[in-house]
Amino acid sequence: MKRFVSFAALAAAALAQFEATDFNVTEALLDNGIDCNSLKVLFGDDQVETRSETAYSSWLNSLWSGQQRLIAPECVFKPEKPLDISTAILIARLTECPFAAKSGGHSSVPGGSNIAGGISISFVEKMNAISVSSDKKTVSFQPGNTWLNIYTRAAKDGLAVNGGRVASVGVGGLLLGGGISYTGGINGMSCDNIISYELVTASGLVINVDQNKYADLYWALRGGGNNFGIVTKFTVEAFPLGPTMWGGMRTYTQGAFSALIDAYYNLGMNAPQDGKAHQILSFSFRAPNVQLANVELEYAEPNANASILAEYNAIGGALRDQTAVRSLAELTTLLDGPASGTGLRQGFWTWTMKLDKEMATVAKDIFFEEVTSISDAADLVPAFSLQVLSTPILEKTAKRGGNALGLTAADGPLINALVALKWSNPADDTRMWRFAQKVKDRSFAAATAKGKAHPYVYMNYASPWQDPVASYGSTNKARLISISKKYDPTSVFERLQPGYFKLTRAAYSGSP
């Protein structure tokens, strides 16, 4: 029904009542042409970018993955406050318009933080406040922040938080999926250090969630991803750090590989002795046959000679050594260089095994064996990295009533394995993803045969075809689903925000 009806038509209908008893506001608004684009009418040009605007194109280029940059949303919405997000969610529900939310935009899942033909909500422009509490025990921040912003601000008060290791990564995705941090050996995963969330729910309510208020949601948000609402503020534990610490990357050739794996294993096993040390051991390949190892080492004090790092420090012959005493902010900036790969296509695939020298070696060998099959791909940057979910990290998953990840200290210590690929040609997409899957499948099969496999899939490193929530175990998955039914009974965040890991499924169905 059109809203502009003539008096004659109304009279002709001989209405008993001017407004029908079954008048439907929703239908009337839809008839008036309310749709995704109506955000522009409500919020104005400054908060809504549409396809013809340069701010729309530059927003696309702020996404990390090349595939995400090619997704065309109907509009990019830049909320200023939680109520704006509430309105956007309600408009999305009214018009059945799909939406996505972007914090730092570093999801490796195409469609994880940008949605074709829908509303892509972007926090970076107008929701990037940070504050340190007067007692200096907590830092609160909105989701438009990167870790560099947070560390730079916290350092002014001699503080740090347990966040990401790369400057330009966002706070939103990392904190909702878990979070592996330089200081994880002291504090655990990033999500276990969150004290409260300000959350916009499916019905557009703005609530504060902590261990006492909405305790079930508090548990679910620690690992449940984007399935429970849009977080508009995180309040996290702060701790004194700095002004400097020690760290950086060292690069080695093949001759050092076995010594590096020994040092990786021993540091992982010894983590309970000194949680200040951190490591990422990665392997990379360049055609025709250059095999390199990069080890990223940190110590949460300005000490280059911590005894727990002595085994690593004794490995000579580095091609390059960037380790030095520097601030946390500087370290994250240093690591951003090799990690960024601006504009390239990106792919992640992850799995988990018991911490074991043989498993680390077998997986590394499988990576190098298989990589020759894709080495002709244009602009290929293939990497395989080994991290440790150490006993101290796993113990802290029990903090504040536990989290949704399904990990316990008895599971560990664990290897977190990640294949990370960059390439440029869309025609290579399928074989890139299949390569990553094959390295995972073969390594996981080898681990399974030795009783060293572990089901956990880290959401923040998962490929679109992996199902992290299922990996949390059937009890946790069922609990997450029942919490979702309570706060989001019509599954708004599953139906209308479809592009990421959901409670009942992977981001994509099938396999690449």
Ligand X SMILES: *[C@@H]1O[C@H](CO)[C@@H](O)[C@H](O)[C@H]1NC(C)=O
Q: Is 202 in the site for ligand FAD (CB under 6 A)?
A: no
Q: Name the residue whose CB lies closest to ligand FAD.
A: 172
CB of 487 to ligand X, least distance (A): 21
Instruction: Considering the complex, state which of residue 89 and residue 360 has its C-beta at the smaller distance from ligand FAD.
Output: 89
| Helix (H) or strand (E) run with residue 102 in it | strand 99-102
Show the 3-state SS of 37-50: CHHHHHHCCCCEEE
What does the per-residue mask of binding to ligand FAD show for 339-358, with x meaning CB under 6 A? x-------------------
Q: Is 164 in the site for ligand FAD (CB under 6 A)?
A: yes
Site for ligand X in 400-459 (CB under 6 A): none
Q: Is 231 in the site for ligand FAD (CB under 6 A)?
A: yes
Q: Which residue has the tokens 């018009």?
A: 95
Show the 3-state SS of 148-215: HHHHHHHHCCCEECCCCCCCCCEHHHHHHHCCCCCCHHHHCCHHHHEEEEEEECCCCCEEEEECCCCH
Given candidates 82, 112, 242, 392, which one binds ligand FAD under the rule CB under 6 A? 112
CB of 414 to ligand FAD, least distance (A): 14
CB of 2 to ligand FAD, least distance (A): 37
Site for ligand X in 275-304 (CB under 6 A): 304
Instruction: Considering the complex, state which of residue 211 and residue 313 has its C-beta at the smaller distance from ligand X.
Output: 313
Chain centre distance of CA 164: 10
Given candidates 13, 20, 26, 31, which one binds ligand X under the rule CB under 6 A? 26
Q: Is 421 in the site for ligand FAD (CB under 6 A)?
A: no
Q: Which residues contact 293 (CB under 8 A, 6 or more apart)?
A: 251, 252, 253, 254, 256, 257, 260, 281, 282, 283, 284
Phi and psi, residue 265, nearest 5° = -60, -50
Instruction: Considering the complex, state which of residue 312 and residue 367 has its C-beta at the smaller distance from ligand X.
Output: 312
**Do the beta carbons of residue 300 and residue 183 sit within 8 Å?**
yes
CB of 27 to ligand X, least distance (A): 4
Given candidates 17, 305, 474, 475, which one binds ligand X under the rule CB under 6 A? 305
Partner interacting with residue 27 (select from ligand X, ligand FAD, none; CB below 5-8 Å by kind): ligand X
Q: Is 292 in the site for ligand FAD (CB under 6 A)?
A: no
Partner interacting with residue 165 (select from ligand X, ligand FAD, none; CB below 5-8 Å by kind): ligand FAD
> 3-state class of 67 per DSSP?
helix
Instruction: Considering the complex, state which of residue 257 and residue 461 has its C-beta at the smaller distance from ligand FAD.
Output: 461
Q: Which residues contact 254 (CB under 8 A, 6 or more apart)?
A: 291, 293
Partner interacting with residue 304 (select from ligand X, ligand FAD, none; CB below 5-8 Å by kind): ligand X
Query: Which region among 22-30, 106-114, 323-331, 469-477 touches ligand FAD (by CB under 6 A)?
Result: 106-114
Chain centre distance of CA 106: 7
Given candidates 102, 153, 222, 477, which one binds ligand FAD under the rule CB under 6 A? 102
What does the per-residue mask of binding to ligand X show for 27-46, with x meaning CB under 6 A? x-------------------
CB of 248 to ligand X, least distance (A): 13
What does the per-residue mask of binding to ligand FAD show for 461-500, with x meaning CB under 6 A? ---------------------------------------x
Q: Which residues contact 365 (CB under 8 A, 6 or more apart)?
A: none
**Do the beta carbons of residue 110 and residue 64 sit within 8 Å?**
no
Instruction: Considering the complex, state which of residue 144 and residue 242 has its C-beta at the smaller distance from ligand FAD.
Output: 144
Instruction: Considering the complex, state which of residue 233 and residue 454 has its C-beta at the smaller distance from ligand FAD.
Output: 233
Partner interacting with residue 305 (select from ligand X, ligand FAD, none; CB below 5-8 Å by kind): ligand X
Q: Is 24 in the site for ligand X (CB under 6 A)?
A: yes
79's tokens? 């909320």
Q: Is 103 in the site for ligand FAD (CB under 6 A)?
A: yes
Q: Is 79 in the site for ligand FAD (CB under 6 A)?
A: no
Given candidates 154, 180, 261, 371, which one binds ligand FAD under the rule CB under 6 A? 180
Rounded CA separation 105/60 (Å): 10
Partner interacting with residue 24 (select from ligand X, ligand FAD, none; CB below 5-8 Å by kind): ligand X
Instruction: Considering the complex, state which of residue 133 and residue 244 has its C-beta at the smaller distance from ligand X.
Output: 244
Helices (H) and strands (E) in the chain, counts: 19, 20
Instruction: Please give the DSSP secondary-structure letter assigned to residue 134.
Output: T
**Do the beta carbons of residue 345 and residue 160 sit within 8 Å?**
no
Rounded CA separation 47/126 (Å): 9
In angstroms, what CA-CA distances link 378 with 54, 64, 69, 234, 346?
29, 18, 19, 40, 13
Q: Is 96 in the site for ligand X (CB under 6 A)?
A: no
Q: Which residue has the tokens 């740090």?
A: 160
In angstroms, what CA-CA distances link 355 with 218, 268, 359, 420?
30, 8, 8, 20
Burial-class residue 24 by CB neighbours within 10 Å (0-12, 13-18, 19+): exposed
Q: Is 105 in the site for ligand FAD (CB under 6 A)?
A: yes
Rounded CA separation 481/502 (Å): 10
Query: Which region among 132-140, 172-180, 378-386, 433-441 touches ligand FAD (by CB under 6 A)?
Result: 172-180
Tell me which residues touch ligand FAD (CB under 6 A): 64, 100-108, 112-113, 143, 164-166, 169-170, 172-174, 176-180, 226, 230-231, 339, 460, 500
Tell me which residues touch ligand X (CB under 6 A): 24, 26-27, 304-305
